[in-house]
Structure 1
Amino acid sequence: MHVLRTILRPGWIALGVVVVAFAVACFTMLAPWQLGKNSDTERRNDLIRTATSLETVPLAEVAPSSTLDPSAEWRGVEVTGRYLEDQQALVRLRNIQERPAVVVLTPFAVDGSDRVLLINRGFVRPVEGGVPDIPAPPAGEQTIEGRIRAAESVSADRGSRADNGVLTVPSINPGLVGTATGTPMDDFYLQLSPDQPGSLGEIPLPQLDTGPYLSYGLQWLAFGIMAPLGVLYFLIAEIRSRRRAAAAKAAPAAEATAETGDVADAETASRPAGTAPDGQPSTAASRAERRRQMREELRAASGTTVVHNVGRIGHGPVAEDTVGDVRDATPDPRSQDGDVRDKLSRRYGG
């Protein structure tokens, strides 16, 4: 009951609710979030390793339609067509090789079809207070090589806008650029390979490591386990502290009780045997005295003695008091010899 009262205190209840909610969040949200990012990174690395080990093939073999097969991402493809420079867009606020950069996106019309691909030509460094100089893509029919990339996500509160007469978009998303330019495009884009017609600053491939996501996920799992254990530790510590305080509080009362008992034992030892604390004979002593008086009264009232012959050869009778103790009556040897001679004379004469 004492432990239950401690647990049901408002402070412990509130702390328990917070810790349980935190542990649930760790196991259902935070850890899966980081572990999911780790899985996505491992999947991306596997795709890059596979894609870099394969040769470049025509676009129609890998992506025959405008819909992207996720397993085809990062594959190197070749396509022929022409750049649509008048529909070019920029992506600002990028960081490439640890420096600010502006990514240049130019649509590309595929020959022999009505498909239009969004080409990431690379990057240029920004200039303060204006639009950087961007080399124009080559005119006419061009054959280019690049890697298939999935479209980036689009924030709902951010869209395209015109900045000094140049279209600017927040992310590399063909749908967003197509809506801004009025030209439908495939739902993926090509990241142009180095030394291709119209290429700019090279955007390197991602490093093939998983990053810190796995360790972060394991840390959240550890936090989800350690938080309840920490509360349990402090709860047990408080219960033990309260028990020690209660024991320390009860110690003086126990000492006082022990001292009272010692005084009572001393008084008992100082009294005469068979007497009560008030000086009167104790109950056991009075009963023994009554029994002794009763025996004496019975002896006095009987007044007779019954003698029994115990039949020992050559000896006289033994007298036994029927009420008192049994006593051996040892006869005089001379009187016994005289009695024997008298009996023999009467029987045989003499």
Structure 2
Amino acid sequence: MRVLRAFLRPGWVVLALVVVAFAVACFWVLAPWQLGKNGRTEHQNDLIKSAVSKAAVPIDTVYPGSGPVPTDTEWREVSVTGSYLPEAQAVVRLRSVDDSPAFEVLTPFRTSDGRIFVVNRGYVRPQQGTALPPVTAAPAGTTTIDARIRQPEGTSPGKGPRTESGVLQVYTIDPAVLGRTVGLTTMPAYLQLSSGQPGSLAEIPIPQLDSGPYLSYGLQWIAFGVMAPLGLLYFVRSEIRHRRAANAARAETAERIRTGAAPPDALESAALAESALSERAARARQRRKELTSASSTGMGQTRVRGTIGAGPDQAVAGEDRVRGKLADRYGD
């Protein structure tokens, strides 16, 4: 019971609460977060692999309506017939392609059945720092294009469309927001134009199929969640073992006193010896700390005084110390 009461002290209670909270965070927050990111990345990679291996099909076969884009149709290549609407064109700023800045060009496309899709025609590199270069106009008239279906990116607060230097610019590809800005009713999905199609610019590459480090991160958080309670149990067991050894030693000393094998003050002497050892160890630590501080402060400051033709005063100081010791032993 006394051992149990020892672990009810504030220090042990706080340590236990911290360990439990950390383990809960590892198992129910941090590990699921990383494993979830790994699952989403692998699902995205599977969609891209499947889409790349298939030929283009008419858009009505995979996206016939105007509702949300089914997740399993993203990256599918489709063919669409219609015409560009260059008067509603916009550019996406602050993009990066192959680790270099770029502008992506968005031009609405009206299909033959009347639907309007925002088409990402590709990218152009900025000129003179961040200036938008001239953009090749989209072809006029009816044309057929092949493009990949993409999910909208959404718009962050305060990052809506704006006009700069006479060009409509956006931060993300959000067909609904862009459509409201230019006065068009656009479909939720947008199309990423394939290479070599009418109106295409520099092609935006398909993302690399890399799952990233999320799986290993998730497993690491699980390992941390297991190790934290085990570490606490180790310290608890060490404390119990230490206390039991101390109690056994005291009991043995008491038994020796009872049988006359040890003096009556043996317990008190043992306690005093233990206290003295603790104090001596503390003084030794303090002394080492002072010596370390003194050596750090005086490093590089050794003073050597002398005159031309004479040795340094350090030798004289050494002789004075020897004379002092001889005087203390034998008298002046």
TM-score, normalization: structure 1? 0.68
Q: Taking structure 1 as reference, are residues 177 and 262 closer, same or farther at Cα in structure 2, changes over 3 Å only?
A: closer
Match of 2:312 in 1: none
Kept in 1, the 8 Å contact 2:162–2:170? The answer is: yes
Match of 2:126 in 1: 126
The letter of the residue matching 1:81 is G
Rounded to whole Å, the distance in 2 between the matches of 1:261 and 1:43 is 77
Match of 2:268 in 1: none
Aligned length: 262
Deviation at 1:148, TM superposition (A): 0.7
1:140-179 counterparts in 2 under 5 A? Answer: 140-179=141-180
Deviations 1:186-234 (Å, cap 9, x if unpaired)? 1111111011111122111122232222112111221221122222222
Match of 2:191, SS state, is strand
TM-score, normalization: structure 2? 0.71
Kept in 1, the 8 Å contact 2:253–2:262? The answer is: no
The letter of the residue matching 2:146 is E
Rounded to whole Å, the distance in 2 between the matches of 1:2 and 1:115 is 79
Rounded to whole Å, the distance in 2 between the matches of 1:91 and 1:247 is 77
Match of 2:187 in 1: 186
Q: Taking structure 1 as reference, are residues 256 and 81 closer, same or farther at Cα in structure 2, changes over 3 Å only?
A: same
Greater Rg by CA: 1
Over the residues paired in the alignment, what is the CA RMSD in angstroms? Answer: 2.4
Match of 2:34, SS state, is helix
Match of 2:38 in 1: 38
Rounded to whole Å, the distance in 2 between the matches of 1:228 and 1:177 is 53
Give me the identity figure in percent: 54
Rounded to whole Å, the distance in 1 between the matches of 2:104 and 2:255 is 85
Match of 2:108, SS state, is strand
Deviation at 1:248, TM superposition (A): 5.5
Match of 1:101, SS state, is strand
Is 2:71 aligned against 1:75? no
Match of 2:272 in 1: none
Moved more, 219-228 or 124-133: 124-133
Kept in 2, the 8 Å contact 1:169–1:176? The answer is: no
Deviations 1:223-269 (Å, cap 9, x if unpaired)? 22112222222222233334445555666655544545799xxxxxx
Match of 1:348 in 2: none
Rounded to whole Å, the distance in 1 between the matches of 2:27 and 2:263 is 63
1:1-350 counterparts in 2 under 5 A? Answer: 1-67=1-67, 68-111=69-112, 113-127=113-127, 128-247=129-248, 255-259=256-260
Rounded to whole Å, the distance in 1 between the matches of 2:108 and 2:97 is 22
The letter of the residue matching 1:213 is Y
Kept in 2, the 8 Å contact 1:178–1:185? The answer is: yes
Deviations 1:74-129 (Å, cap 9, x if unpaired)? 11111112222222222222222122222221111112x22110111111222325
Deviations 1:143-197 (Å, cap 9, x if unpaired)? 1111111111332343222233322222112112122222111111111101111
Match of 1:346 in 2: none
Deviation at 1:50, TM superposition (A): 1.7
Rounded to whole Å, the distance in 2 between the matches of 1:45 and 1:224 is 29
Kept in 2, the 8 Å contact 1:115–1:186? The answer is: yes
Kept in 1, the 8 Å contact 2:84–2:140? The answer is: yes
Rounded to whole Å, the distance in 2 between the matches of 1:97 and 1:10 is 56
Rounded to whole Å, the distance in 2 between the matches of 1:186 and 1:217 is 37
Rounded to whole Å, the distance in 2 between the matches of 1:19 and 1:41 is 31
Q: Taking structure 1 as reference, are residues 148 and 18 closer, same or farther at Cα in structure 2, changes over 3 Å only?
A: same
Match of 1:186, SS state, is coil
Rounded to whole Å, the distance in 2 between the matches of 1:214 and 1:242 is 43
The letter of the residue matching 1:5 is R
The letter of the residue matching 2:72 is S
Rounded to whole Å, the distance in 2 between the matches of 1:211 and 1:191 is 24
Kept in 1, the 8 Å contact 2:257–2:263? The answer is: no
Match of 1:26, SS state, is helix
Kept in 1, the 8 Å contact 2:256–2:262? The answer is: no
Kept in 1, the 8 Å contact 2:85–2:109? The answer is: yes
Unaligned runs of 5+ in 1: 264-350
Unaligned runs of 5+ in 2: 265-332
Match of 2:196, SS state, is coil
Deviations 1:268-294 (Å, cap 9, x if unpaired)? xxxxxxxxxxxxxxxxxxxxxxxxxxx
Deviation at 1:11, TM superposition (A): 1.9
Rounded to whole Å, the distance in 2 between the matches of 1:92 and 1:53 is 31
Rounded to whole Å, the distance in 1 between the matches of 2:164 and 2:22 is 45
Match of 2:273 in 1: none
